[in-house]
Structures are given as C-alpha cells and as structure tokens.
C-alpha cells in the first residue's frame, strides 16, 4: 500500500539514499570492484542528526543504513552549522543564496570541493556547478575534462588511442536539482549529499570519492527556487496568523488489530492528517502563481535552448562532458527510477536502452535488500523525446538518468507528540503552507531581492543559532 502522507524528511530521505546507490555502479565500472559497506565504525557521528532521523522518519522501513547517520569532521561544516537546521527539517526550506553560502563554506574548508561559476539567471542570480572528488582527483580535474571531451567525440582516434584515453580517465557523474523549482526536495538534499561525499570515510563513500568526479547543479532554476521558498514561508506566516484551536485531553482508543500484510504507516491515534494538495491545513494551499520569468514547468522542454538558465547548463556541459546527467524530480509516489522504456528513439545508440534498465534494476534491488518499499522502474517517461535538458548526454556517448520522488508534506510534530501524550487538537486551521513540492508551492526572497515580487519574507529563514559557527547572514 502506498502511503500518500509523505513527510518532507522522508521524501528527501528517499532521494538522498537513492543517489548514493546511483553512484555505486559507476564506481564498480571504474575500479572493477564494489563494496556497499555503509559506515566506518571509527568515525565520529552527529548525535543530533541521529535523534532527528528517529523523530522525523515515522516508519523505519523508509530508512536504510546509507543515511541513518551523519559524520562529524573537525573543521568541516555540516549543513546545520551553516543553515541552523538539518536537511529535511519540518517547516524549513533554503533560499538559493543560503545554498551557495553553504557550498562555499564547504569549499573553504576542504580541498575536495571546487565551485565553478557558469553564468547568471534571468534575474541575475549566480549559476554554479559544485565539484567534489578526492584531493588527488581534483589536481587532475582539467586533464580528466579534456579526456572526457575526446571520449564524447572520438572521431579521428584509433581504437588503441581510445583505449588509452579510457584507461587514464575517471567517470564524471552530474546531478541536477531544482530544474522544476516547485519540486523542492532535491535542492535541499544535495547539500547533505555533498557533505557526505566530502567527509564520510565508509568504504562506500570513500570509493565514490576516489573513483568518480561528482558535480552538482544546486538549483537549475535559481529564480524559481527563491520564488517558491517565498511562497512556502508566506503560507507558514498565514497559518501562524490564525488562532490555534483549543487542545483538550482525550482518551486514546485502543489501536485496531493489524491486518496481515498491511504495512501502511499510520499516525498515532488523535493526530491530525494532511489535507489534500491545494486545500488548507498542512497541505500547503494553492501553488505559487508562477516561478520562472518566462517559462513555468516546461523549462525542461526547452529543446531550442532559449532560456538563459538552460543555456548556461548546456554550455557548461560542452566544457565538461559528464557521461551521466542525472535529473532529480518530485512527482511520483515513493521512488521511480527512469529506465528509458518504449517507445525508444531509433536515432539514439541502442546500448542506452540496455544500460538504463541495468542501472535502474540494480538500484531497485539494493533498496529492496534493505526492505524499502515502493521503488520501481516503469512509469510515464519513455526513451523517445530528445527534448529534456539532460538529453544532451544521449548524443555524446553518455546517458541521462532521472528520479521522481513523492513530494513531501511536513508532519505536525507538535500535534503528533500531543497525541502520544493523550491530548489532541481540533482539525487544523485552514491556511496551509507546510507542504513543499507541487502541492504547496514555494518562491523568491533574500537571494534575489527582486522589487517586482509580490511577497517578501522580512525575517531570515536560515539564520543559525547565535552560538553556531558560520553564523554570518547571507547577502540580500
């Protein structure tokens, strides 16, 4: 049974562990060996993350040993050190300027991180790619990029020359978050993924760092990202302005006997449930009226590359030639990993339609191994259209991968706790705004400071505690 009341933490959580799995097969191809050991027992872990993980992940079946811990390394900031909260925290989304603030703090603290500016958005926001690899690999980044350019177009090379270049080249895996800026989870989760790739010493992460170059587009539609975050906080402010309903003690009825085979997660008796998308309560209300300056959701259909943000990413592609362009979305239940199903474009190399199912089935098998429900490989997207942004890889000896996860809504953690103590509240007041993704909208703010925007959040959404390092606020 699919649990449609997915919390934001769980939605982000599904994505973070899927991405780690997505990287592993490419490590195996590079190193001709594979380990899936997920933790270094000698590495210090963050106890506050472990506590939040337990509190925010209502059903352990949706977790895994990939991400049930977060390492601590002296001198390298976690997202919480800079932002003031763990990724996936209820009622939190991160403005684009604060995302860049975190990536720059990470780059300042570690030689394993490099930030490359690739252009400006329609509204003037800086567009970047974040590179992550081992120190030794970072020293060879320029040479590896040159080698990948030769592999992308090997015309004029002999077979021996191609093999020599391949032997001297490591794979490059690129993640794109926030292409559809109303799908808010990927841009959040990528900050934590970057931190893990930089700091974790588990065999799994260490081999990724040593054998791959990983790069990240934090928010492909940076303008829409801020507009959606604005709309999200607008919803919170509107909900906060409505008087809270009275809380009265109740006698919690005995739970019903479970039905054999029924694995659905259920909130404690008396806890409020999420309203349908587009309604009030914790569903988020109506979505943001628009997010891109010129194009709404169809920026991922810009086959003529007319949009400034899309052109910047395509132009960057032709300087780096990542063999894997992995696009991250939120629109399907739990986790859908794209496998290039039919109809399939006969103008593309048929090997793509063998590779994509292989990787997708491997990811599904690994997550099934950990008992995670709802991972699947067949849904709406086919292997025909060349119009997606990531399709550029198809024509240059690479492949496009894609995940769809379910958009998350925040659990009302206070009401959940009250329910466990035997008290409850009336039906949540309308006004909504606690949900992310398509149901709740989200939008522009401190990162852009555009005069024409209809809503301005006046207080910081990302200010860390006064005692935290890296507490300087980001520029407007």
Is residue 459 a part of any domain in this protein? Answer: no
Identify whether 47 is part of a domain.
yes
Rounded mean pLDDT, 53-61: 83
Q: What are the DSSP calls for 257-310, one per residue?
A: PPPTT-----PPTT---PPPTTSSTTS--SPPS--SSS-SGGGGG-TT--SHHH
Q: Does residue 249 belong to any structural domain of this protein?
A: no
126 in any annotated domain: yes
What is the C-alpha separation between 208 and 102, in angstroms, rounded? 22
pLDDT at res. 185? 92
The pLDDT tens digits for 170-228 are 999 999 999 999 899 999 999 999 999 999 999 999 999 999 999 999 999 999 999 99
Question: What CATH number has the domain bearing residue 43?
Answer: 3.40.630.10
The DSSP call for residue 331 is: -
Tokens representing 421? Answer: 């103590």
Nearest to 183 by CA among 238, 223, 237, 224: 224
Whether 316 is covered by a domain: the verdict is yes
Ranges 88-92, 98-102, 352-356, 415-419, most confident: 98-102
Range of 397's domain?
8-227+289-405
Helix (H) or strand (E) holding 457: none
- Span 131-155, pLDDT tens digits: 999 999 999 999 999 999 999 999 9
| pLDDT, tens digit (0-9, with 9 covering 90-100), for 279-336 | 333 334 467 877 888 887 888 888 888 899 999 999 999 999 999 999 999 988 888 9
Residue 431, in any domain of the structure? no
Looking at the chain, the number of H-run helices and the number of E-run strands are 14, 12
> Is the predicted pLDDT of residue 457 greater than 70, yes or no?
no
Closest by CA to 363, choosing from 385, 394, 334, is: 334
pLDDT at 18: 63
Of 162, 132, 129, 127, whose CA–CA distance to 148 is shortest? Answer: 162
Whether residue 1 lies inside any domain: the answer is no
Mean pLDDT of 149-175: 95
User: What gap in Å lies between CA 311 and CA 320, rounded to an integer?
Assistant: 14
Of 181-185, 232-236, 361-365, 432-436, minimum mean pLDDT range: 432-436
**What's the pLDDT at 414?**
62
Q: What is the dihedral of CA 424, 430, 435, 441, to 10 degrees?
A: 180
For 134-170, the DSSP string reads -HHHHHTHHHHHHHHHHHHS-TT--HHHHHHHHHT--
What angle do the packed helices 96-109 and 222-240 form, to 10 degrees? 120
Q: Is the confidence at residue 160, as pLDDT, over 90?
A: yes
**Dihedral over Cα of 353, 176, 286, 295: its sign:** negative
pLDDT digits (tens, 9 = 90+) for 405-426: 887 667 666 665 565 556 555 4
Query: Which two tokens mark 41?
Result: 């027992």
Gap between the terminal Cα atoms of the chain: 45
Q: Is residue 169 part of a domain?
A: yes
Number of folded domains that form the chain: 1
């Amino acid at each position: 049974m699919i649990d449609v009341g997915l919390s934001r933490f769980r939605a982000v959580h599904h994505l973070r562990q899927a991405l780690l799995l997505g990287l592993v097969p490419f490590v195996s191809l590079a190193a001709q060996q594979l380990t899936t050991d997920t933790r270094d027992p000698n590495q210090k872990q963050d106890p506050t993350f472990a506590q939040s993980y337990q509190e925010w992940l209502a059903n352990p079946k949706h977790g895994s040993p990939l991400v049930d811990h977060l390492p601590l390394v002296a001198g390298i900031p976690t997202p919480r050190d800079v932002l003031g909260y763990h990724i996936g925290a209820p009622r939190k989304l991160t403005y684009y300027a604060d995302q860049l603030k975190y990536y720059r703090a990470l780059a300042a603290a570690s030689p394993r991180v490099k930030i490359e500016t690739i252009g400006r958005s329609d509204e003037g926001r800086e567009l970047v790619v974040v590179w992550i690899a081992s120190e030794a690999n970072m020293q060879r980044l320029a040479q590896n990029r040159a080698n990948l350019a030769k592999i992308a177009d090997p015309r004029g090379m002999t077979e021996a020359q191609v093999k020599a270049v391949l032997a001297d080249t490591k794979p490059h895996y690129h993640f794109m978050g926030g292409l559809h800026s109303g799908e808010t989870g990927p841009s959040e989760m990528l900050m934590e993924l970057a931190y893990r790739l930089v700091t974790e010493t588990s065999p799994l992460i260490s081999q990724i760092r040593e054998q791959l170059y990983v790069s990240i587009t934090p928010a492909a539609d940076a303008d829409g990202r801020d507009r959606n975050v604005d709309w999200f906080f607008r919803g919170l402010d509107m909900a906060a302005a409505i008087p809270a309903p009275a809380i009265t003690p109740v006698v919690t009825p005995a739970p019903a006997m479970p039905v054999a085979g029924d694995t659905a997660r259920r909130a404690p008796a008396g806890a409020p449930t999420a309203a349908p998308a587009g309604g009030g309560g914790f569903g988020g209300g109506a979505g943001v009226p628009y997010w891109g300056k010129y194009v709404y959701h169809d920026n991922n259909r810009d086959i003529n590359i007319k949009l400034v943000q899309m052109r910047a990413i395509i132009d960057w592609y032709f300087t780096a030639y990542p063999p894997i362009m992995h696009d991250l979305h939120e629109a399907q239940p739990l986790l859908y990993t794209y496998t290039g199903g039919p109809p399939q474009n006969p103008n593309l190399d048929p090997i793509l339609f063998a590779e994509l199912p292989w990787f997708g089935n491997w990811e599904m098998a690994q997550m099934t191994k950990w008992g995670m429900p709802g991972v699947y490989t067949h849904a709406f997207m086919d292997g025909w259209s060349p119009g997606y942004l990531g399709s550029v890889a198809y024509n240059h000896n690479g492949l496009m991968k894609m995940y769809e996860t379910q958009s998350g809504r925040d659990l009302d953690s206070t009401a959940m706790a009250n329910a466990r103590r035997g008290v409850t509240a009336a039906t949540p007041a309308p006004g909504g705004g606690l949900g992310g993704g398509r149901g709740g909208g989200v939008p522009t703010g401190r990162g852009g400071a555009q005069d024409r925007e209809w809503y301005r959040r006046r207080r910081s959404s990302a200010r860390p505690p006064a005692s935290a390092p890296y507490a300087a606020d980001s520029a407007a």
